[in-house]
Structure 1
Amino acid sequence: MTGRPDRAERSLEVDVSGYMHNKGLSAGLNPCLLYPQVAARDASQGLAMRSQQLVDVLKSVVQADVASQNSVIQFYMTHNLSGGWEGWLQTVFARGVFSVDQIADFNREVPYTGSALRCDLWFQGGTGIWVELKTQRSGAYVNTVADFSADIAKILSLAAPFRQANVLVALAVFQLSAADRNNLRQIQIRGPSGALNYWGWNSQRSAWVDVSADILNAPVGVLMVAAYRAP
């Protein structure tokens, strides 16, 4: 692991001030709401590529926030406010998805087709895009990884033809604890079909580092993004 941003991460980097100037946006606009413009991809692209794109958007959104002096995430975590920041992140993440894909429609808490279960975020972009996105609600909240694991189980409970025809992703953002390390490792051991990855934010390198292969030794306290992408 070099800790260097991969190609997808580099493509998501943005000069906020330049972007605002080019778009004629007000200098008072919260830079956390600005995202790099990535060329929209054709709706026929592979589901795996589109699901990875969602992960890249989330990492970019979180990175932009923690780099800000007015970080929403750091504010809520530091003040240990029980109201949480999950709704904020879901909304800002959705805005980022519109920047990188051809999205015709969007809604929240939409029932999965043929199921009573609901997703956190739904996009229509030629293919249905269904996202579960959880956060650590406060500094004292300890069940984010359990929430993430439950979202994986929810996705895997859906009918196989539906999973194969749609983009389905479970995501989580949280501050890593010792218990989280063990619980994340247990998810790996259970081996859900699909792609499962964990990234830790390295503030010294200002980069996400993939710690999936050594999750038990990841530093406690690091900000994490966990992602599961259905096959």
Structure 2
Amino acid sequence: MSDFSARLAQTQAILERISSEFAPAVFASSLAAEDMVLTDLILKGKLNIGIFSLETGRLHAETLGMIAKVKETYGADIVLFKPDAAAVENYVSTNGLNAFYDSVDMRKECCRIRKVEPLNRALSGNKAWVTGQRKAQSATRTELAYQEDDTAHAMQKFNPLADWSEEDVWHYIRTNNVPYNPLHDKGYPSIGCEPCTRAIQPGEDVRAGRWWWENPESKECGLHVVDGKLVRIKQVV
């Protein structure tokens, strides 16, 4: 695992640099496996990086249970950002509760209300944000950099696990006894909102269960997209 050790050391160095040079900074956690790795590194390292999650109102019970699990394991609270209630009500009353199945546009509008707008509030006032994205996760992330200039939010964006494999993630979790979402043991390698996520079959892509009714090229929720394009402005490190 020498290669893994090098990747881990690089990730730790990136997080320490964020903590010392980019405060205030925040980590956007989906409470999935990758993000639990970063949660463990941030909290055990006592780094100056806040942790928040987007409570969309449509998450699995198992995902919500991870909030209490983090508190129990680390004694730390994850700050929750929720969508604007009036915007949700307007979407549901106008289009229906599950209108996101009808078209990509309807799905992206739901994601905008439940994820993108709360994310903007969560990032406000910070100099940098951290994600658990990895290159190997999907076709839309193959050019992922460790550090990016996020011009949309006027801050730096860091992806400390960019070069980690699925095996790396689980090796760290098992070696360090990191708590993880029980849905991972039920065939969910990638976890989002409950109605938009399904378990995958052996051999399927790890994100095949996310918005499974859409083409792979459209499978982003808008958190990492600006004007229809992924934020891949430049690699700084």
| Fold shared per TM-score above 0.5 | no
If the length of structure 1 is used for normalisation, what is the TM-score? 0.27
If the length of structure 2 is used for normalisation, what is the TM-score? 0.27
Greater fraction strand:
1
Higher relative contact order (CA 8 A, sep 6+): 2
